[in-house]
Amino acid sequence: MAFPESFLQELKMRNDITEIVSAYVGLKRRGRNMVGLCPFHGEKTPSFNVYTENGSFYCFGCGVGGDVITFIMKIENLDYVEAVKFLAQRAGMNVPENSYDDSMSKLRTRIFEANREAARFYYATLQTPQGAVGLEYLHRRALSDRTIRHFGLGFADNDWTSLCRHLYDKGFRDDEIVAANLGVRRRNGGGIYDRFTNRVMFPIIDLRGNVVAFGGRIMTDEKPKYLNTSDTPVFKKSTNLFSLNNAKNSGSRTLILCEGYMDVITLNQAGFTNAVATLGTALTSEQAMLMKRYADEIVICYDSDEAGQKATARAISILRNAGVLIRVLSVPSGKDPDEFIKSKGKDGPAAFKAIIEKSGNDVEYRLSKLRQLYNAETTDGKVAYLNEAARVVSTISSPIERDVYATKICNELGIDKGAFNQQMSRILHSSNREAAKKEIRQIQTDLSGRNDKINTEHYKKPRSSSAEEALVVYLINNSDCANEISEKVKPEQFQNLFIRRYYEYVLNRIENGLEPLTNLAADFTADEVSKLYELMSRSIPAASNTDAMREYIKVINEESTKLTADDVKSLSDEELKVYIDKIRKNKQ
């Protein structure tokens, strides 16, 4: 059962979407709407729109859309019920009890509780004889007891059922333990066993202080060296960062991006509380956007080995697209941050601070890598370096910044700046031409609906689908026309079964005296909600254009009477004549 309509309407009225979104996105007025850089994907040109009149949002860049509840669900990683409670608390409203299905919310709560209990269990185990090997490992890595306690580090012993038994004693069921990925079902159906054994455990804590997952480091040479919690209802690796809960309170608008847990913990112990790390995966655009909320500058601090350098190159591209300033830290002697700080003893923190201050931005980093790759003392090497350097500098959007680097490179190698600029112009022209072609191809693909993974039937039946989509939007904007529309178009006439769901849903709500979209986020998936708001955001005839409405109805009626080629072949001569007469009548 859904929340009461009156409650949801008041909730949205007391949580103005422009005010809510402004807490996360810098908005500027553009006509009747507000626009800004999307918080859900990296972009340099604003494509995120807030429609103040109907309390909705839509991003033309990544296709995410919805109302204020949908926005909070997405930005805070909450389910529907949790998002409603979040907004109700903000507005000082009481949430009606026993009026909604909160089964998923209750499961998420139980997973949080199980994770918290597991973290306590792992920490306690670390202090026992069974955890001695883990504690010795952490002390050998020069971590103090205070640091171990601050991060809640623990140990999963070699008993394959100790955590499960402990959670049973605390009242947790098999399905809850498995949902948290703390336990795994046996193949023979004989119960469950612990996911983590013989590992030092690193709790992963979200921005609200919840333990959402764990990382575990094996104490032997077995693989994998690090094992992480799989995705669960409360955790997704690609959208979380280790120790961001600490870094956001560091007082700095700079984040140090490390490769692993130990680097982050060592830096924290040395006073660099603004360090974070990805969770066993390469950096994602979602993580970059998350960091952007708390930082203006990211210092990439990956290992100097080949894998680390590849990861650095990939991270630069993702972070540039997210619109943050980037610096790349090169730790001397090929050490990682953990090794470097320890090697300097008590001077470690000051030495690390010094190399951060000396670190160059991403352009300088890429140019230095090119200098190492090509021998500029030879003619061929010099030409190759300059060609590649021109490609790097041409990616800079600021003309002033491009000119500064061009001048510096030409002075260093003693070449004519005009020639270097000419080469950059060729590269820019080629890149812009390719980008324009790509944009045109993308627009054509979007218009055809060929790659639409939600509205998959549009591509197969574009004429009927377009009319059906437009009629649904018209119905949402003109609920007073519901009777006229429902008399002329029955749901079974819709050729696109996905759009038919919208039509039946909206029509049913209007016929029952309800607002069309008040409870949409509870009744459709996030992608389905976004798709409907995409349709509503398209440029279509005026909302009250009855001529347009009747044209949509006409097309739907025409298309619904058409038979497939196989159907036509199976008709008798008399049936075929009746069918042709019917088509002619519909076109009159």
Exposure b/e, 20-30, CB count within 10 A at least 16 = b: bbeeebebeee
pTM for this one?
Answer: 0.82
Averaged pLDDT score across all residues of the chain:
90
Q: At what angle do helices 80-91 and 5-14 cross, to 10 degrees?
A: 60
Average pLDDT over residues 33-52: 93
Q: Which helix (H) or strand (E) holds 307?
A: helix 306-322
Q: Give the mean pLDDT of 213-219.
A: 97
Kindly report, residue by residue over 531-581, the tens digit of the pLDDT. 999 999 875 555 568 889 999 999 999 888 776 555 556 656 675 566 566
**Edge-to-edge strand list for the sheet holding 325-328:** 275-277, 254-258, 297-301, 325-328, 360-361
Which residues have CB under 8 Å from 574's CB, separation 6+? none
Please determine, for residue 75, whether its predicted confidence score (pLDDT) is greater than 70: yes
Tell me how long the chain is.
588
Q: How close are the terminal C-alpha atoms of the chain, in Å?
A: 46
Residue 256's H or E segment, with its range, is strand 254-258
At 401-415, the pLDDT tens digits run 999 999 999 999 999
pLDDT over 70 for what percent of the chain?
A: 92
Residue 57 host element (H or E): strand 56-59
User: Residue 390 corresponds to which tokens in the numbers above?
Assistant: 């021109």
Q: Is the pLDDT of residue 57 over 60?
A: yes
**DSSP helix/strand/coil, 56:** strand
Instruction: Read off the pLDDT of residues 97-110 as tens digits, 9 standing for 90 and up.
Output: 766 677 888 999 99
Mean pLDDT throughout 487-493?
A: 94
Nearest to 280 by CA among 351, 225, 343: 225
Q: DSSP of 449-476, one letter per residue?
A: TTT-SSSTTTTTSHHHHHHHHHHHHHHH
324 vs 181: CA distance, rounded Å: 34
- The candidate with the shortest Cα–Cα distance to 290, out of 337, 258, 242, is 242
pLDDT in tens, 326-343: 999 988 876 788 888 988
**Model confidence pLDDT, tens digit, residues 366-402:** 999 999 999 999 999 999 999 999 999 998 888 999 9
Q: What whole-number distance in Å separates Cα of residue 304 and Cα of residue 249? A: 29
